């Protein structure tokens, strides 16, 4: 694939993830399917990461976090704030663990899809 789709920083957590893993999964799709697959993978990862963060963020900070993301999800200040505000001892590790979990799920789904057992 000539263009690396997942390495265009657009969120505060992009720089801590190994996007190459998903690039490898994308290579298994037909060219006409890659854009849709990319979007679906990106949404799955984004949702999982935000849910994991919210699970480790005191409820009184949920609105603040969501407002910060709406204002500029690419802002590094969000990550800095999360390092202080969350109950998790290492927010970067949480984000990375969540990413790896979703990657493994996507890889399994792709394997099942390729075997013809179900759709992605």
pLDDT at 112 (0 to 100):
73
Calpha distance 99→79 (Å, rounded): 16
For 47-74, give the DSSP string: HHHHHHHHHTS-GGGHHHHHHHHHHHTT
Q: Which domain holds residue 73?
A: 58-87
pLDDT at 120 (0 to 100):
53
Domain count, the chain: 2
Residue 23 lies in a domain: no
In 3D, which of 25, 14, 23, 55 has the Cα closest to residue 120? 25
Residue 53 lies in a domain: no
Residue 73 lies in a domain: yes
* Whole-prediction pTM: 0.85
CB 48 within 8 A of CB 101: yes
Residue 119 lies in a domain: yes
pLDDT at 111 (0 to 100):
79
Q: Which residues of the chain have pLDDT under 70?
A: 1-9, 113-120
**CB burial string 69-103: b at 16+ within 10 A, e below:** beeeeeeeebbebbeebbebeebeebbbebbeebb
Do 62 and 79 lie in one domain? The reply is yes
DSSP 116: T
pLDDT at 118 (0 to 100):
54
């Amino acid at each position: 694939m000539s263009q690396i789709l997942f390495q265009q920083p657009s969120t505060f957590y992009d720089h801590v993830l190994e996007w190459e893993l998903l690039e490898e999964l994308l290579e298994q799709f037909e060219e006409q399917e890659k854009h849709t697959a990319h979007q679906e993978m990106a949404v799955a990862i984004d949702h999982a990461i935000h849910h994991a963060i919210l699970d480790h963020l005191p409820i009184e900070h949920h609105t603040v976090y969501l407002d910060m993301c709406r204002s500029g999800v690419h802002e590094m200040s969000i990550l800095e704030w999360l390092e202080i505000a969350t109950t998790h001892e290492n927010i970067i590790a949480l984000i990375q663990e969540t990413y790896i979990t979703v990657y493994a799920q996507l890889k399994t789904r792709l394997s099942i899809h390729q075997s013809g057992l179900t759709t992605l």
